């Protein structure tokens, strides 16, 4: 039986992206995304739980969105998830959630700092999943319907 690994995230960038290039000239953008949810704890108090993901975006997509990936921006990311184990400075074993992105969309309105919830109702957002790393606005046609 075949296997499948896909993750979809909507979150806020925790820092500006870092762009680098491989020796072969391929662009790589690295950034982190925080997702959060609210839950009641055992005492009935609301708690906000934040999960961090490290994301890498490759090739023309990385070049196309690089200048727009700044701290606080809200983004949609689709890709493959894997875990990385490492030892921190204090010698504790840690696990990092790593995503290799295959699709990314900027959410929120133009000039939005990304701190609010954008992308719903106004059709705001930009997609960078076109072949060759092109730029397009979502909702361009029936082929863009996500279901």
CATH number corresponding to 10-137 = 2.40.50.140
pLDDT tens digits, one per residue of 36-73: 999 988 998 999 999 999 999 999 999 988 888 999 99
Look-up of token digits 């995304």 = 33
Beta partners for 12?
A: 34, 74
User: Rounded to the nearest 5°, which phi and psi values hold at 88?
Assistant: -80, 180
Domain extents for the chain? Answer: 10-137
pLDDT in tens, the chain (147 residues): 889 999 999 999 999 999 999 999 999 999 999 999 999 889 989 999 999 999 999 999 999 888 889 999 999 999 999 999 989 899 999 999 999 999 999 997 655 544 333 333 333 444 444 333 433 334 444 444 443
């Amino acid at each position: 039986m075949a296997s499948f690994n896909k993750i979809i995230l909507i979150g806020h960038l925790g820092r500006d992206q870092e762009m680098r290039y491989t020796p072969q000239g391929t662009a790589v953008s690295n950034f982190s995304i925080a997702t959060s949810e609210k839950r009641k704890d055992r005492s009935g108090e609301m708690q906000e739980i934040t999960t961090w993901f490290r994301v890498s975006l490759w090739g023309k997509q990385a070049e196309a969105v690089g200048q727009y990936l700044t701290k606080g921006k809200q983004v949609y990311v689709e890709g493959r998830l894997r875990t990385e184990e490492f030892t921190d400075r204090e010698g504790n074993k840690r696990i990092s959630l790593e995503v290799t992105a295959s699709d990314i969309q900027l959410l929120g309105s133009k000039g939005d700092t990304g701190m609010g919830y954008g992308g719903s109702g106004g059709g705001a957002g930009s997609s960078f999943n076109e072949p060759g790393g092109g730029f397009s606005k979502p909702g361009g046609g029936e082929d863009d319907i996500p279901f």
